[in-house]
């Protein structure tokens, strides 16, 4: 985590944001109770409705995996091999034989997927999670997932590895980089974007790769969003870039690195901050998580 410590010694990081409207959000928030001890890393699912914020689910472990379906079901995968699901007013928990779920992604409540370590990739089948990793090496660690339909899914691995499935089996693409990629955005069958360390930014058009990386290799690129037909990319230096004629152009400083589009507004989030853009103006909201997230260590 990169967040500054609060007066009680903890650090917080907004890791994911989902919602139907800007006034009704689900946040996945990381907390460090002792930055020198990874056993004290925690995660909380925080609801934000209007000016109110509260913890809806607190996990005594760390997680990077959360997704909310268009129908409103929330999925959270933690490092204790469990998936927590909320369909309305209560949570249910399912044990999942997967070493540390890294990402959960779906297209609908019937098409939900989970990636993890050791070549494990699952898809949801009713109330069960079924292994779906034919073609993925058993030593592959899998991270971000994205796609636009079950026959066009991508998942990222380490050192530039990219896997694609047509719903029957996985194939590793001929990646043009060995830099670990951390984010991807599938706009269509014909256009997919990838970002990562060393300024890496790639576009896949059908089978053709375009290297649109930054010349400055000291900048790590993070979240990618398609907002009003423009591609925006966040960075660890909190510089927001926009893609203009195949060049990433700095648009605005002091913008958190992770991005998501909610109800025709662009959200940038990180630490205890959400920046919100409606196409004309930016607004900023800071959260005091010490007031709502209990200390457990």
Same domain, 54 and 153: no
In tens, the pLDDT along 152-170 reads: 999 999 999 999 999 999 9
What percent of the chain is predicted at pLDDT more than 90?
78
> In angstroms, what CA-CA distances link 143 with 3, 117, 128, 196?
22, 8, 21, 12
| Final residue belonging to a domain, choices 139, 156, 175 | 175
The secondary structure of 140-196 as a DSSP string is: -----EEEEETTEEEEE-STT-EEEESSS-EEE---S--SPEEEEEEEETTEEEEEE
Same domain, 112 and 171: yes
If 0-12 CB within 10 Å is exposed, 13-18 middle and 19+ buried, where does residue 114 land?
buried
Same domain, 37 and 77: no
For the chain, helix, strand, coil in percent to 5 are: 0, 55, 45
Q: How far apart are CA 193 and CA 57, in angstroms?
A: 33
Contacts of 207-210 with C-beta under 8 Å, sequence gap 24+, read 209/176, 210/246
pLDDT digits (tens), the chain, 297 positions: 445 667 778 899 999 999 999 999 999 999 987 777 777 889 999 999 999 999 999 998 888 899 999 999 999 998 888 899 999 889 999 887 666 688 999 999 999 999 988 899 999 988 788 899 999 999 999 999 999 999 999 999 999 999 999 999 999 999 999 999 999 999 999 999 999 999 999 999 999 999 999 999 999 999 999 999 999 999 999 999 999 999 999 999 999 999 999 999 999 999 999 999 999 999 999 999 999 998 875
Q: What integer pLDDT is reported at residue 128 of this predicted model?
A: 84
pTM (2 decimals)? 0.94
Same domain, 18 and 70: no
- Single out the residue of 147, 202, 201, 200 nearest to residue 170, CA to CA: 147
How many domains in the chain? 2
In tens, the pLDDT along 170-212 reads: 999 999 999 999 999 999 999 999 999 999 999 999 999 999 9
Domain that residue 162 falls in = 63-175
Residues 41, 58 contacting (CB under 8 angstroms): no
Same domain, 97 and 144: yes
Has residue 279 been placed in a domain? yes
Q: What integer pLDDT is reported at residue 1 of this predicted model?
A: 42
Q: Phi first, then psi: give them for residue 286, nearest 5 degrees.
A: -110, 145
Same domain, 67 and 169: yes
Has residue 133 been placed in a domain? yes
CATH number of the domain residue 89 falls in: 2.120.10.30
């Amino acid at each position: 985590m990169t967040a500054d410590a609060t007066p009680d010694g903890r650090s917080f990081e907004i890791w994911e944001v989902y919602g139907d409207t800007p006034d009704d959000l689900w946040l996945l928030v990381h907390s460090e109770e002792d930055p020198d001890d990874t056993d004290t890393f925690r995660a909380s699912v925080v609801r934000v409705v209007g000016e109110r914020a509260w913890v809806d689910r607190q996990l005594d472990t760390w997680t990077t995996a959360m997704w909310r379906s268009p129908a409103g079901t929330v999925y959270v995968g933690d490092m204790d091999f469990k998936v927590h699901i909320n369909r309305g007013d209560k949570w249910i928990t399912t044990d999942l034989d997967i070493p540390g779920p890294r990402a959960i992604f779906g297209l609908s409540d019937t098409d939900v997927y989970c990636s993890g370590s050791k070549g494990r990739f699952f898809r949801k089948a009713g109330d069960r999670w079924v292994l779906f990793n034919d073609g993925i090496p058993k030593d592959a660690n899998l991270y971000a997932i994205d796609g636009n339909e079950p026959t066009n899914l991508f998942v990222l691995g380490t050192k530039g590895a990219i896997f694609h499935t047509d719903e029957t089996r996985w194939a590793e693409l001929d990646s043009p980089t060995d830099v670990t990629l951390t984010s991807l955005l599938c706009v269509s069958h014909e256009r997919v974007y990838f970002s990562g360390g060393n300024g890496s930014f790639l576009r896949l058009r059908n089978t053709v790769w375009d290297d649109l990386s930054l010349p400055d290799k000291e900048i790590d690129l993070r979240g990618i969003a398609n907002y009003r037909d423009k591609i925006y990319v966040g960075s660890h230096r909190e510089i927001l870039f926009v893609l203009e004629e195949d060049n990433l152009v700095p648009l605005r400083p002091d913008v958190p690195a992770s991005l998501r589009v909610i109800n025709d507004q662009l959200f940038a989030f990180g630490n205890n901050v959400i920046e919100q853009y409606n196409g004309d103006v930016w607004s900023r909201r800071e959260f005091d998580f010490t007031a709502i997230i209990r200390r457990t260590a």
